[in-house]
């Protein structure tokens, strides 16, 4: 009878510990899901910014409204005459 009481007590204690661990893990999971959503939004914003900067980097007087004098110091292609 005493052995059964000790087993029941230890099982109840273990159950309480497991329930506390589950609560901690659920809270951590919620925090990580929130962090993931923020990181995904930031990643989308940065990808859009990167695409815009790449698009602007490829602009020159032939495909934008910039005058040829604003093309920079790139070497001009020799046109075959």
Contacts of 68 (CB under 8 A, 6+ apart): 61
Q: How many domains, the chain?
A: 1
pTM for the predicted model, two decimal places: 0.61
CA atoms within 13 A of residue 47's CA, in its CB half-sphere: 6
| Residue 52 structural domain | 2-56
Residue 46 included in any domain: yes
Confidence of residue 67 (pLDDT cuts 50, 70, 90): confident
Residue 27 included in any domain: yes
Picking from 75, 72, 47, the residue whose alpha carbon sits closest to that of residue 57 is 72
56 or 64, which is more confident: 56
Q: Is 21 exposed, middle or buried (0-12, 13-18, 19+ CB in 10 A)?
A: exposed
pLDDT at 81 over 60: no
């Amino acid at each position: 009878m005493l052995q059964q009481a000790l087993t029941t007590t230890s099982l109840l204690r273990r159950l309480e510990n497991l329930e506390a661990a589950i609560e901690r893990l659920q809270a951590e999971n919620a925090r990580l899901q929130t962090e993931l959503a923020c990181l995904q939004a930031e990643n989308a914003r940065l990808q859009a910014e990167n695409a815009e900067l790449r698009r602007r980097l490829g602009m020159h007087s032939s495909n934008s409204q910039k005058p040829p004098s604003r093309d920079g110091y790139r070497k001009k292609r020799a046109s075959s005459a």
